[in-house]
């Protein structure tokens, strides 16, 4: 077998999309197309980090990246989020993974979120600077609407349609205000919300790319969290299904103070209840304790994360990662 490893170029878009559609049959082709389109719209520094393995012009493996903007000690740095790395099932065991990881070893400003258990065992053997960081946890919050959902599931009935009120009251002084225009959000300087040593940029450009220009923008709803009329953060939610049950996903959240992050769970529970949904799923790298209001449980499932720069291990261990980062929102649940 004569194989060749080449860098990506937009010329390969259609063929790479067809390949990914075949090796990832359960992933939405719109997501895969969006992922590759983001690569197309980047530059050669991004393209050269995406490798395609060919056997007589037939794609048999690939690794890809998308741009990720991070702040390290308040300075914006360019990183690359690795994803959709795979070798065709009938080509495994032939050393092709090593070819892919040789490409990864050419740079170190990468991060991977949601690394599969198989890759988690393989990559430390071939990726020189493979550095595990704190995993992403899965939290499930429950409210009383679950009773009605179970009743409909057992006895039949149409699932509740999602309707998002313009305003929701969380407490006497805390309100949720639906964002109808991105200009309503008061983004902090540099898109830095928490002043952590390392954090993902959350500014207007990020919101436009991630929630408005994405293939399924209609499914996202954004709320500002108001305390005594002043915005202190935001939450992003969308309806989804998990193990066959209609639930709400808390996709993303940011607050000006880390102490206020738990308010995101209260906000999501309030939104879910207003839509007769009894469960909220949240993916977060934070370690939150068991909570009663709302009742929130940390599941055993954890999503593996790693970086390529060991010197920043402690920074990234303390960084907030949600399902808006990498491709967790698209591949972990529908």
What pTM, to 2 d.p., does this model score? Answer: 0.92
User: How do residues 4-50 score in pLDDT, each as one tens digit?
Assistant: 999 999 999 999 999 999 999 999 999 999 999 999 999 999 999 99
Mean pLDDT of the region 257-267 = 94
pLDDT of 255 reads 96
Domains of the chain: 3-107 (3.40.630.30), 137-302 (3.40.630.30)
User: How do residues 110-157 score in pLDDT, each as one tens digit?
Assistant: 999 999 999 999 999 999 999 999 999 999 998 866 656 665 665 666
Q: How many CB atoms lie within 10 A of CB 330?
A: 20
Among the listed residues 99, 105, 89, the one whose alpha carbon sits nearest the alpha carbon of residue 2: 99
Mean pLDDT of the region 160-164 = 75
Among the listed residues 79, 86, 63, 68, the one whose alpha carbon sits nearest the alpha carbon of residue 7: 63
Mean pLDDT of the region 203-230 = 94
Q: Does position 81 have pLDDT exceeding 90, yes or no? A: yes
* Residue in this structure with the two tokens 């529970």, named with its chain if needed: 269
Is residue 282 within 8 Å of 250, Cβ to Cβ? yes
pLDDT of 275 reads 85
Q: Fill in the DSSP letter of residue 201.
A: -
């Amino acid at each position: 077998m004569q194989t060749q490893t080449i860098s990506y170029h937009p010329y390969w878009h259609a063929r790479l999309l067809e390949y990914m559609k075949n090796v990832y049959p359960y992933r939405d082709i719109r997501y895969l197309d969006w992922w590759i389109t983001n690569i197309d719209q980047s530059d050669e520094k991004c393209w050269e980090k995406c490798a395609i393995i060919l056997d007589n012009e037939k794609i048999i493996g690939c690794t890809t990246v998308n741009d990720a903007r991070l702040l390290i000690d308040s300075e914006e740095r360019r990183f690359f989020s690795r994803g959709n790395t795979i070798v065709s099932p009938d080509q495994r065991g032939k050393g092709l993974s090593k070819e892919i990881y040789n490409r990864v070893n050419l740079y170190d400003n990468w991060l991977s979120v949601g690394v599969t258990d198989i890759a988690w065992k393989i990559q430390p053997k071939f990726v020189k600077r493979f550095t595990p960081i704190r995993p992403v946890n899965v939290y499930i919050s429950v409210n009383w609407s679950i009773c009605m959902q179970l009743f409909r599931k057992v006895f039949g009935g149409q699932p509740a349609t999602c309707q998002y009120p313009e305003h929701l009251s969380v407490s006497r002084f805390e309100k949720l205000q639906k964002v109808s225009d991105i200009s309503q959000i008061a983004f902090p300087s540099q898109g830095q919300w928490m002043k952590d040593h390392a954090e993902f940029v959350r500014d207007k450009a990020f919101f436009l790319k991630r929630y408005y220009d994405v293939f399924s923008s209609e499914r996202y709803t954004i709320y500002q969290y108001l305390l005594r009329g002043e915005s202190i953060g935001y939450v992003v939610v969308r309806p989804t299904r998990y193990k066959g049950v209609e639930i709400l996903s808390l996709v993303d959240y940011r607050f000006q103070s880390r102490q206020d992050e738990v308010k995101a769970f209260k906000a999501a529970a309030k939104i879910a209840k207003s839509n007769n949904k009894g469960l909220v799923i949240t993916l977060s790298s934070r370690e939150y304790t068991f909570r009663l209001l709302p009742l929130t449980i940390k599941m055993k499932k954890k999503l593996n994360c790693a970086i390529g720069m060991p010197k920043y291990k402690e920074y990234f261990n303390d960084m907030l990662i949600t399902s808006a980062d990498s491709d967790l929102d698209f591949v972990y649940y529908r």
